[in-house]
Amino acid sequence: MKPGVRAKLFLVLLGVIVAVVALVDAYLTTALDRQLTERIRDDLTIRAALVADKAAGRATGRDRAAWDALADELGRLAQGRVTLIARDGVVLGDSEVDAAALSALENHAARPEVVGALATGSGSSIRYSTTLRQRMMYVAVPFAREREAGGVARVAMPLTAVDEAIAEVRKSIVLASLFALVVAVVLSSLAAQLVSKTLRRLTAAARDMAAGDLAVRTRISGDDEIAALGVALDRLAESLSATLGRLRAERDLLDAVLAGMQEGVLAVGSDGRILLVNPALKDMLLLEGDCRGKTVLQAIRHADLSGLIEQARRGESSSAEIGVAGIRPRELRVKAIELPGVEGGVVAVFVDITEVKRLEAIRREFVANASHELRTPVAAVRAAAETLATALDDREAAARFTRIIERNAERLQQLIDDLLELSRIESREYRLNMEPLALGPLMRSLVALHAERAALRGIAIEVERAVEHLNVRADRRALDIVLVNLLDNALKYGSDGARVLLHAARDGDRVRISVADSGPGIEPRHLPRLFERFYRVDAGRSRELGGTGLGLAIVKHLVEAMGGTVSVESEVGRGTTFTFALDAADAVGRAA
């Protein structure tokens, strides 16, 4: 674990205290030792001079007992250790050593203080005394007698006082150091508390910013470096917040554009994995879940598309039409280019051309069907006209061919009228005048209009009595066309002696109107396509009966234009029922 601010401050202060104590100890002990030893040296020099003077006046010869007695006496007077040494270094007497033991003492001729005294008149030294086992200061002064060789008087004093003084000073230094250490702990704690509190605020704010909360601020005042750091963090947060705000706005705009596009968009990164798929593309390809991070082949499983993307990754702009199989087959036009700013990245745009392809197929089928429908009566007219030109002398043949021409001309006219009517409905040029209409009178008039034609084939047309009390909201002419086409179909394809029933019933806010016949019926495989243009169950019979193949398509478009729905039910051998539903007149009034 790394030390905190408090520990670091304490260690710094401790280091400073230790360094100061070491320097103070070194300086004070040296200075104190020097000053005290100088004073003791001066004092001992005076005592040594007095001892030398006494020794010069009293001692004689080499009588060590006399010299030793003199040393003892002078030691008491000098209050120190007195040693009397001959010039050749032999110890004559010592106040701290018995006379009997003097001979065992080593020669003192080489002692520094003796050498100094003989050379300069005064000598001193400090050393550890092996005899007394303590540090001693020695001061020596020479003395002389008439007609006798002189010697050196040496006075020694232990430096116990000096050592004790130095020890006391060091004790004071240690106590002061301990006090300073306590003060350092307190000060470091206070300083660390003040500094770390601010730093903790900065750290907490920085963590919140890193976690995404850019609204947090340090709000630290002051002029020091920490306050400057807090201000810098606040400015950084404001800058990042503004930048992220702009990025979010751009992202939201891009998401809105991509979500609102009808075209599919696919973005692939430099590693070949999907970066983005918009909702339109997911709907086109029925993609589920998140496709990001997958390869194109993993997500879409289309080899041609994968090849197209790889081609674009190589820097080659490519486009193609691809088919997508599955529950909802699609035809897509894909344009893939290199993604700007991403090396090896690709963006592809998908346009759903399924409806375009379907309409193109319908157009081709319509053109083919219309051409076929027109070719038959035109060919009949042409053939009849050519034959008529060679049979003008035969009045009966001429009349027959004239009727053929007239019948096919009417068929052409009906086909053209139906095509124009269907075109007007599909292009919304057909203006509807929606109004309440009574079904009873309308159906009775239609039955009367077709009664003679039905009677010729023995077909009975019936209108249920419940129709009399029902009203619908519809366009009169459009409803006439719908009922006429359905009734015409029932009479045209019904068997001789069949029965046609016009029925209507209330179904909630709607009225369901049906035209049922007891004719041959229609096979189930034909039912889904009955309302397509030019579709016929029995094309040969339909043309023979004069049908254009557009009647039911017109019915479907007119019913849907009036807000209704149309359906068919049929059973082979039992007949067919066409049903359409329109809003009831009173229901529309209540809704309004």
pLDDT at 421: 63
Measured distance between the N- and C-terminal CA atoms of the chain, rounded to whole angstroms: 79
Q: Does residue 190 lie in a domain region?
A: no
Range of the domain at 154: 5-165
Q: Distance between CA atoms of 415 and 410, rounded to whole angstroms?
A: 8
Considering the domain architecture, whether residues 366 and 465 belong to the same structural domain is answered as no
Q: Distance between CA atoms of 499 and 517, rounded to whole angstroms?
A: 6
Considering the domain architecture, whether residues 445 and 418 belong to the same structural domain is answered as no
Give the end of a domain, one of 104, 133, 165. 165
Considering the domain architecture, whether residues 222 and 135 belong to the same structural domain is answered as no
Whole-number CA gyration radius for the chain: 65
Considering the domain architecture, whether residues 19 and 153 belong to the same structural domain is answered as yes
Chain centroid offset of residue 433 CA: 57
Residue keyed to tokens 């004559």: 92
Q: Distance between CA atoms of 579 and 178, rounded to whole angstroms?
A: 110
Taking Cα atoms as reference points, which of 304, 244, 299, 224 lies closest to residue 266? 299
Q: Does residue 97 lie in a domain region?
A: yes
Q: Does residue 204 lie in a domain region?
A: no
Helices (H) and strands (E) in the chain — how many of each?
Answer: 15, 17
Domain count, the chain: 4
Considering the domain architecture, whether residues 224 and 83 belong to the same structural domain is answered as no
Q: Which two tokens stand for residue 371?
A: 């051409």
pLDDT mean over 130-135: 72
pLDDT at 537: 67
Q: Does residue 236 lie in a domain region?
A: yes
Residue 136 predicted with pLDDT over 90: no
Q: How far is CA 313 from CA 281, 285, 341, in A?
A: 20, 22, 13
Residue 110 predicted with pLDDT over 50: yes
480-501 residue pLDDT tens:
888 888 888 888 877 788 888 8
Q: Does residue 175 lie in a domain region?
A: no
Considering the domain architecture, whether residues 160 and 244 belong to the same structural domain is answered as no
Considering the domain architecture, whether residues 445 and 408 belong to the same structural domain is answered as no
pLDDT at 42: 85
Residue keyed to tokens 């009949």: 380
Residue 280 predicted with pLDDT over 50: yes
Q: How many residues does the chain have?
A: 592
pLDDT at 390: 66
27-66 residue pLDDT tens:
777 787 788 878 888 888 888 888 888 888 765 566 778 8
What is the H or E stretch that residue 543 is in? helix 539-544
User: Which residue has better confidence, 418 or 78?
Assistant: 78
Q: Which two tokens stand for residue 208?
A: 């919140």
| C-beta separation of 546 from 437 below 8 A | no
Give the end of a domain, one of 131, 148, 165. 165
| C-beta separation of 135 from 126 below 8 A | yes
Q: What are phi and psi of 343, to 5 degrees?
A: -65, 125
pLDDT mean over 381-399: 66
pLDDT at 382: 66
Considering the domain architecture, whether residues 31 and 149 belong to the same structural domain is answered as yes
Amino acid at 35: Q
Least confident of 36-40, 288-292, 361-365: 361-365
Q: How far is CA 396 from CA 95, 385, 399, 408, in A?
A: 190, 15, 5, 19
Residue 541 predicted with pLDDT over 50: no
Give the end of a domain, one of 260, 294, 315. 260
Average pLDDT, the chain: 78
Per-residue pLDDT band for 417 (boundaries 50, 70, 90) equals low
pLDDT at 542: 45
307-344 residue pLDDT tens:
888 888 877 777 888 887 777 788 888 888 888 777 77
Considering the domain architecture, whether residues 275 and 295 belong to the same structural domain is answered as yes
What is the residue-wise DSSP string for 456-518? HTT-EEEE-GGGGG-EEEE-HHHHHHHHHHHHHHHHHHSPTT-EEEEEEEEETTEEEEEEEE-
Angle of helix 476-493 relative to helix 439-456, nearest 10 degrees?
30
Contacts of 174 (CB under 8 A, 6+ apart): 21
User: Which residue has better confidence, 298 or 385?
Assistant: 298
Q: How far is CA 263 from CA 82, 259, 349, in A?
A: 121, 10, 7
Considering the domain architecture, whether residues 424 and 438 belong to the same structural domain is answered as no
Considering the domain architecture, whether residues 323 and 279 belong to the same structural domain is answered as yes
Domain of 284, CATH number, reads 3.30.450.20
Domain of 491, CATH number, reads 3.30.565.10
E strand spans, 245-400: 264-268, 274-277, 318-324, 330-338, 346-352
Considering the domain architecture, whether residues 441 and 398 belong to the same structural domain is answered as no
Classified as helix, coil or strand, 146 is coil
Taking Cα atoms as reference points, which of 353, 512, 506, 485 lies closest to residue 422? 485
Q: How many CB atoms lie within 10 A of CB 306?
A: 17
Residue keyed to tokens 């009390």: 469
